[in-house]
Amino acid sequence: MEVKEIIIGDGEARKRYVLVRNPAQEKRDKEKREQTIKRLREELDAIGELKGQAHTKSICRLVAHPTYGRYIKLLSNGQPRLDKAKIKQEEKLDGKYLIRTSDDTLGPEDVASGYKQLIDIEDAFRTIKQTLEVRPVYHRLSDRIRAHVLLCWLGLLLIRIAENETGHTWREIVNAVDKIHLVEFLTDGGYVKQRTQINKIQKNIFKRLNIVRPPEILAFEAKTP
């Protein structure tokens, strides 16, 4: 990360900020926005030109969308267009965030590192609740409470190990592996159960995690004449 300290004002009006730039996050922000813009272009192409017609429900849906809406502007005739000025404005903020602190005992690097740890902790709780889908469970006995916490920690640990070993997020790992299917072919001569072909990304995930790939042929049986 790149860190820069900014001091504004003096005395009681003094404010201390730490500006942080994370190149890795900058790359992720750019890729995420490009994917969003690509899907938005497809939506706009599907709407087409209004040619004097009134607003459609699809336009209202895009404008009110929490993600797509901020990249759309409406012309005087109600035609939706990409807001290129808004896109360029967001590009300048990729991977950057501003921290305000009143603690002068911490250096700029410590402030940035502490804030990043807070983000990691919040991300861990979000992973437990959303990715692992751990529902609220109410325990009374201390042994059950400790066991519940331990299971949540183990699940989170496995996710982090998989992400660190493969270089992919857990969602990317799940989406990649989820594309592997088992197909059953039925013919007059019998049947065969065969998995789909494994691509380069899937092979890398199995290799990095030291997981044996499923066999190509899982079952085969020929009909006797």
Digitized pLDDT (tens) for each residue of the chain, 225 residues in all: 889 999 998 888 889 999 999 888 899 889 989 999 998 888 888 888 777 665 677 788 888 888 888 899 888 888 888 999 999 999 999 989 899 988 888 888 888 888 877 877 887 887 777 777 776 778 888 898 888 888 888 888 898 899 899 988 888 898 899 999 988 888 888 888 999 999 999 999 999 999 998 888 888 888 776
Altogether, the residues listed in the chain come to a count of: 225
* Amino acid making up residue 84: K
Predicted TM-score (pTM) of the model is 0.53
Q: What is the pLDDT of residue 18?
A: 92
Q: What is the pLDDT of residue 165?
A: 92
Report the distance separating Cα 105 and Cα 123, nearest Å: 27
Q: Which residues of 69-107 are buried (b: 16+ CB within 10 A; e: fewer)?
A: eebbeeeeeebbeebeeeeeeeeeebbeeebebeeeeee
* DSSP 8-state class, residue 11: G
Classify strands 72-74 and 15-21 as parallel, antiparallel or unpaired. unpaired
E-strand spans in 45-168?
72-74, 80-82, 96-101
